[in-house]
Structure 1
Amino acid sequence: MFRHKGKGRRYSHNLKLASILSGVAGLVNITGVLSVNSLTTNVTGHFAFFSEQLFLKNYEMALIYLLYILFFLSGAFISGLIIEWTTKYKPHSSYIIPLSIEIIIILFVGFSPDLIPGISQMIISSALLFAMGLQNALVTRVSQSVVRTTHLTGLFTDLGIELSLLFFHHQKARRKQINKSIFLKLMIILCFFLGGILGAFTYQHFQLKTLLIPVGLLLFALWYDRLLIRYYHIKRKLR
């Protein structure tokens, strides 16, 4: 899912990556909404709130929304920085550090009421936005901008365009390519939605500990990718 890049990357790699990490994003987003009433997987809404608070001259709140935007940006920046640096030395494991940081942050937020009683909503929102910035940049880099898992606006736009293309392209090869792209986007949307539904039901009983589910999914993704690396290594030895 993560280590294949360039010509070695296949459609199935992007499909697996999209399914797992869009589920993670859906879970994190609904947990943020229910716990601190804040969107934690994209910054579109925060730009609107930032503009609104500036108009109302509520500069303290405007600054908070600006910080949310900058935390998402910082997560994407740090992720890109780490991937670029580690690619020079360990290109097949450049994804491990960003994912590990994401796991640690989400775990911290999940247990934050026990670790820091009375933790502010701003810290929770900022931490989750940073984590989702990390994830979105990682997925974008690994998939070469084919997969994005933390917000759906662009996905629905691309999906609408590709659905319209089906009316004009009748060549078998081209239609197959379009259909695969449509299915990939539908899987991202579905898994994001399912993550949100699962998170909403789970939050009723476990509150912020709902975030243990996305942590489990991320650990599974790391384990699965490591398992595949060992499999291919053994396969080469046996040839």
Structure 2
Amino acid sequence: MSSPDHAGVVFFDVDGTLVPGTSSSLHLAGFLGHRDELARAEDAYAAGELDNRQVSELDAAGWAGVSEERVSGWLDGLPLVAGIAEIAWCRRNGLAPVLATLAWSPVGGHLAGRFGFHAFGGPRLETAGGRFTGRVARHFDEYDKRDVALTQARELGLAPARCGAVGDSRSDLPLFASVGLSVAFNASAGARAAATVTVDDADLRSVLPALARMVSATGRRP
């Protein structure tokens, strides 16, 4: 049985999608002091030369000793795609907006609270006494991203065919292959090849026509 409140779910990637032209980790690493090193590691991940675990451990080490409160302040300046407030459109039309991301959990929590995402998943940093230890508490790769997203859909009583995903890169490919609608938004060649729809625009509202067709397929009128 599907949820009476939700006709479907739309999973949104964060880095490169909601955070354009960079990543939330790079934004934070600029304050933490290891931005250049992390940028090289992220490029190596995109090229398939490093795995997610290696990049996460390198990044986490730079967080050692920093307070959770301080990071929260840095996230207020996170660069975001134009039109992100239209996440509200999803809720008005019966689609649960969910963050499906490899961004650290402070980022997911910040965006969920700020824009009203239904839920989020992602990797976690270890903390002790309100400060980060420099270690990873939970690793989270592109397959975890898919599996957690589909679990979240099942908890709402929704099959993968009733799910959509909006993303841009390698980390979105397993989820793209598992849902009914996949939107490659300002995406890499690999994501474009895997997606059912490709959208290039500086404003997130440009994906709404594809999502409206998803709503219509459920019998609702967007």
Question: If the length of structure 2 is used for normalisation, what is the TM-score?
Answer: 0.31
Larger strand proportion of the pair: 2
Relative CO higher for 1 or 2, CA cutoff 8 Å, sep ≥ 6?
A: 1
- Structure 1 or 2, whichever has the larger Rg, is 1
Question: If the length of structure 1 is used for normalisation, what is the TM-score?
Answer: 0.29
Larger helix proportion of the pair: 1
